Amino acid sequence: MSSSPGIGGASLLGSLETCRGDPADVKEGTGHVHGKRRLIELTEQLRAKSRKVTGPRQKILDVLRTNRHPATIREVFAQMPRGDCDLVTVYRSMHLLEGMGMVKRFDFGDGAARFELVNGRDGGHHHHLICTSCDRIVELEDCFAQEMEEAVAARNGFKSVTHKLEFFGVCPKCQTGHRV
């Protein structure tokens, strides 16, 4: 019997032909790229750094790819077909992907780290608005802190300055006559 390419016998990636022209590949406006093509790009990145394209990794990337908001390790794990891989593998894979710059880590203050697939070679730096009542997350396109970052760096003689910024508040749906 031949070795199956992924876990469960079927590869998540179809043929290149199948992917070409996939209407879901580009979600206009946002610049985000979804669909199989994206997944292939991702696995290529793995190969390029001589990391193995394994079943668990493909599944994890596929889950991340479909998430519109940063997800915790447990959330990613929960979204994978049951028993597909160990929780620890998700931790390890995420660490690898983060190190490769393929995913970005976010911290919303609750105990668990959240991860989002990086789109575009620029990094797609952006921030979030989180509802403290229902945990709804709003993706804030672009960043408005670049200037102050440069100012802070220059004023204090720091190099390679980056920043972490998140907003918290009460979303419209949670404002029904409660605390102001």
Partner DNA sequence: TTGTTTTTGCAAGTCATTTGCAACTAGAGT
Partner DNA sequence: ACTCTAGTTGCAAATGACTTGCAAAAACAA
Give residues in contact with a copy of itself (CB under 8 A): 107, 109, 129, 131-132, 138, 140, 144-145, 148-149, 151-153, 156-172, 175, 179-180
Nearer to DNA, 26 or 56 (CB): 56
The amino acid sitting at 38 is R
Figure out which of the listed residues 22, 25, 62, 139 binds Mn ion, where binding follows CB under 5 A.
Answer: 139
- The CA distance from 144 to 52, in Å, is 38
DSSP element (H, E) containing 156: helix 146-156
Task: Kindly tell me which residue out of 53, 129, 143, 174 binds Zn ion, with binding defined by CB under 5 A.
Answer: 143
Which of Mn ion, DNA, Zn ion, none does residue 136 bind to, with CB < 5 to 8 Å depending on kind? Answer: none
Phi, psi of 74 (to 5 degrees): -65, -35
User: Least distance in Å: CB of 79 to a copy of itself?
Assistant: 25
Spatial separation of the C-alpha atoms in residues 94 and 117, rounded to whole Å: 10
Q: How far is the CB of 137 from a copy of itself (least distance, A)?
A: 11
Q: How far is the CB of 163 from Zn ion (least distance, A)?
A: 6
Q: Nearest to residue 62, comparing CAs of 123, 13, 18?
A: 13
Q: How far is CA 126 from CA 6, 22, 45, 118, 140, in A?
A: 33, 27, 22, 10, 6
For residues 61 and 45, the answer to whether their CB atoms sit within 8 Å is no
If the CB atoms of residues 54 and 149 are measured against DNA, the closer one turns out to be: 54
Q: Which residues contact 15 (CB under 8 A, 6 or more apart)?
A: none
Site track for Mn ion across 80-109, x = CB under 5 A: ------------------------------
Which residues make up the interface to Mn ion (CB under 5 A)?
Answer: 116, 139
